[in-house]
Amino acid sequence: MTVVILGGTKGIGRAVARRCAARGDRVFLLGRDAADLARSAADLDVRAGRAVAAGTAVCDLADPDTFAPALAAAAEALGTIDTVVVTAADFATQDVLERDLDRTRRLLTLNFAHTVVFCEHARPYLLPRGGTLCVVSSVAGDRGRTPVILYGASKAGLSQYLEGLDHKYRGAGLRVVCVKPGFVKTGMTAGLRPPPFAGEPDQVARDIVRAIDRGTPVVYTPAIWALVMFVIRRLPRAVMRRIGF
């Protein structure tokens, strides 16, 4: 399999890249820092004991002008693209976002608008081959929740977009995988107190790779979150207000 990963130098994306490389997939890394990309590509080759990193390209989710050139470079290096994985995203706590509306604007733009635009750039590479578009959303987008109102809104929009793509293009061969992690212990959540059921990047990456192989439209990870959110989605609003979840 040939895999392009946006966000493959850190956290969940790095864990996905390592799992794909370990089983022999050819991996092309996209990210915003050229030095990080080079180190991550070298790490994949060393771990695999052979050349598995097909290349890297700078692709900054904050700069849509980088999307098309980065994907074109990946297609040239790989020949064909079987799978595109998007793990890059922005995060800030609700209190930080409420104090800084400019920060809020950036988060909403990156997590929703720019991620959708990147996916629209990627879709033409995948559709003719029956490829897979796998994007990390969040359980935070399943229900309006007090601690993650703004972050959750950005992920809710992303999840709806991915569901719409799946409805429209699954029959044409495109497989869309929407990944909904709970809290994951990564650099993005450093300094925050992990809640119950917090996941590790490699655990989440394992679930992501399995979902890609199976073409699972929606995957919760760790798996316990499927049950948790099944319950949460069915709670009356009055109960949600009281529990503050």
pLDDT above 90: percentage of residues in the chain: 83
In contact, 89 and 137? CB cutoff 8 Å: no
Residue linked to tokens 């290349």: 55
Predicted local distance difference test score (pLDDT) of residue 241: 87
Read out DSSP for 175-224?
EEEEEEE--B-SGGGTTSPP-TT-B-HHHHHHHHHHHHHHT-SEEEESTH
Catalytic residue ranges: 151
Q: Which of 8, 58, 12, 68 shows the shortest CA–CA distance to 185?
A: 12
Q: What is the pTM of this model?
A: 0.93
Strand partners, 85: 5, 134
**Total residue count of the chain as it appears in this document:** 245
| pLDDT the model gives residue 57 | 97
**pLDDT at residue 10 above 60?**
yes
Which of 52-61, 101-110, 233-242 has the least mean pLDDT?
Answer: 233-242
Q: For residue range 153-187, what is the model confidence (pLDDT) as tens digits?
A: 999 999 999 999 999 999 999 999 999 998 676 65
Q: Give long-range contacts, CB 8 A cutoff, 24+ apart: 138-142.
A: 138/180, 138/181, 139/180, 139/181, 139/182, 139/220, 139/225, 139/228, 139/229, 141/180, 142/180, 142/229, 142/232, 142/233
26-63 pLDDT per residue, tens: 999 999 999 999 999 999 999 888 888 999 999 999 99
Q: How confident is the model at residue 197 (pLDDT cuts 50, 70, 90)?
A: low
Look at residue 190 in the predicted model and tell me its pLDDT.
Answer: 56
Please count the other Cβ atoms lying within 10 Å of the Cβ belonging to residue 231: 8
Query: Between 128 and 215, whose confidence is greater?
Result: 215
pLDDT average, residue stretch 137-150: 94
Instruction: Give the pLDDT confidence score for residue 63 in this predicted structure.
Output: 97
Counting beta carbons within 10 angstroms of the beta carbon of residue 107, is it exposed (0 to 12), middle (13 to 18) or buried (19 or more)? buried
Residue 222 confidence (pLDDT) above 80: yes
Average pLDDT in the 71-76 region?
A: 98
The number of beta carbons lying within 10 Å of the beta carbon of residue 198 is 16
Question: In the CATH scheme, what is the code of domain 2-243?
Answer: 3.40.50.720
Can you give the residue ranges of every domain in the chain?
A: 2-243
User: Cα–Cα distance between 180 and 221 in angstroms, integer?
Assistant: 6
| Model pLDDT, residue 124 | 95
The residues near 12 (Cβ < 8 Å, ≥ 6 apart) are 87, 136, 181, 184, 186, 201, 204, 205, 208
Q: What is the torsional sign of CA 232, 180, 217, 155?
A: positive
What is the C-alpha to C-alpha distance for residues 227 and 203, in angstroms, rounded to an integer? 18
CA distances (Å), 110 to each of 157, 193, 245, in order?
A: 12, 25, 25
pLDDT number for residue 182: 81
Q: What is the mean pLDDT of residues 206-228?
A: 95
Q: Looking at the predicted structure, is the pLDDT value of residue 116 above 70?
A: yes
